[in-house]
Amino acid sequence: MPDSGTVSLDSASIETRGSWIAAVLALAILAVGYGAPLVAVVGLEPIQRSLHSDRSVVALAGAIAWVGTGVGGILMGWVAERIGIRATTSIGAVATAAGLALAAAGGVWALYIGHGLLIGLIGNGALYAPLLVYVSRWFDRRRGTALALISSGQYIAGIVWPTFFEWGIARYGWQATMAGFGAATLLLILPISLFFLAAAPEPVVRPVGHAAAVQTPRVLGLAPNVVQAMLCLASFLCCVPMSLPATHLVAFCTDLGIAPQQGAAMLSVLLACAFVSRQFWGWMGDRYGGLRALFLGTVCMVLAIAAFTMTKNEAGLFAVSAAYGLGFAGIIPSYALTVRDLFPSYEASWRIPTLLFSAMTGMAFGSWFAGALYDHFGYYAPAFGAGVLFGFGNLVVVGALLLRQRGQGPGQRQLVLVNGD
């Protein structure tokens, strides 16, 4: 029996074949769940015409879906710790389907409630953050690679679904396409959630006894919550520019005289490149740490955002979209990996969702802000220019953390197992 204030962990890796099965199942769930908000992205113009509204009004639906996902991640992360991952992801599937059905009913408020409350808060909120924490507990050696893999569910959704949505909207209308994908969500996610997800094996460790009372853990020489706050700020700043191509690329192409089908294909190319490169960024995070991967990924993203402002032809936009996908793909999993690098496992259930909430808020603000700037100026160049400035702000914050990390080893904490949980 270890003394209080020590660590008792088996030196053998917890990674098994089951770890990768869990990661692949999580990837499949997210590849479907992240398709739900994309119907409004692909159908931005027809929905705008149908509702007789401004573009920023429709873009706000996607924005509040991101905010809802962020808030829901905190709430549903807490729920998942108590009722388990199977029940939590099942709730997410049902809520996402209900949100799509409500949004398809027509009307601005139905669109907002369907996306913000059901698709975002209860739907994807129950999928992304809980599954990220869940999979992180299956891995200790290749955690960055695994987190990069499951985070690619968003990009698989972007590769697979936009072309289908564009076809469905053109043939049946945006409302039928939205409702139909809601039914598909139930059919695809529920069986995986109910019958195949298993409990994660990693023990949760907590400070106990006298050591818990006297220890003053520091992270990068700062109080842990100060580092958490800096990471949250950085995630907001980087996700504002990140949201621009993801939300407005199809509409941006249409304004330049490029067919919507080509815009949807461009979005698929962007996300396909992101999927491929994300595995590289996961490897980089495992080898060099989450903070370094995060900084380099943001540099690449800022350069690509700047290139969007200087590119007007179809071939050039395909090339810039591909470069953007290759560069920004590792940013979000690098945040999760950084949390696991710097903080103990038992704090992941609230630290990762809180960080993701800041990121989703940035995505939401960026999506809405770009639409508002477009409505004011009549073109997208000011929005992309603002995105570059936000990206530089992120580099300042992450760079400050990197400078503190230089020369420091991993923080030492006095931890023990609690009933093997």
3-state helix/strand/coil string of the chain = CCCCCCCCCCCCCCCCHHHHHHHHHHHHHHHHHCCCCHHHHHCHHHHHHHHCCCHHHHHHHHHHHHHHHHHHHHHHHHHHHHHCHHHHHHHHHHHHHHHHHHHCCCCHHHHHHHHHHHHHHHHHHHCHHHHHHHHHCCCCCCHHHHHHHHHCHHHHHHHHHHHHHHHHHHHHCHHHHHHHHHHHHHHHHHHHHHHCCCCCCCCCEECCHHHHHHCCCCECCECHHHHHHHHHHHHHHHHHHHHHHHHHHHHHHHHCCCCHHHHHHHHHHHHHHHHHHHHHHHHHHHHHCHHHHHHHHHHHHHHHHHHHCCCCCHHHHHHHHHHHHHHHCCHHHHHHHHHHHHCCHHHHHHHHHHHHHHHHHHHHHHHHHHHHHHHHHCCCHHHHHHHHHHHHHHHHHHHHHHHHHCCCCCCCCCCEECCCC
Its pTM stands at 0.74
Residue 408, pLDDT score:
65
Residue 308, pLDDT score:
81
Q: Residue 203 corresponds to which tokens in the numbers above?
A: 């023990």
How far are the Cα atoms of 55, 180, 198 from residue 118, in angstroms, in the given order? 22, 16, 25
Does residue 5 lie within any of the structural domains? no
Does residue 11 lie within any of the structural domains? no
> Which residues form the domain of 151?
17-417
Residue 13, pLDDT score:
78
Residue 194, pLDDT score:
92
Does residue 4 lie within any of the structural domains? no
Does residue 208 lie within any of the structural domains? yes
Residue type, 60: L
| pLDDT, one tens digit for every residue, the chain (421 residues) | 333 333 334 457 788 889 999 999 999 999 999 999 999 888 888 888 888 877 778 878 877 887 888 899 999 989 998 899 999 999 999 999 999 999 998 888 999 999 999 999 999 999 999 999 999 889 988 888 899 889 888 778 877 898 899 999 999 999 999 999 999 999 999 999 999 998 888 654 555 444 444 444 788 889 999 999 999 999 999 999 888 877 777 777 777 777 777 777 777 788 778 877 888 888 888 888 889 999 998 998 888 888 887 777 777 788 888 888 888 888 888 998 999 888 887 888 889 999 988 987 888 788 888 888 888 888 788 888 888 999 999 999 999 999 988 756 544 333 333 333 3
Q: For the domain that residue 51 is a member of, what is the CATH number?
A: 1.20.1250.20
Number of domains in the chain: 1
Does residue 10 lie within any of the structural domains? no
Does residue 2 lie within any of the structural domains? no
Residue 5, pLDDT score:
36
How far are the Cα atoms of 39, 40, 51, 375, 380 from residue 44, in angstroms, in the given order? 8, 5, 11, 14, 15
Residue 151, pLDDT score:
85
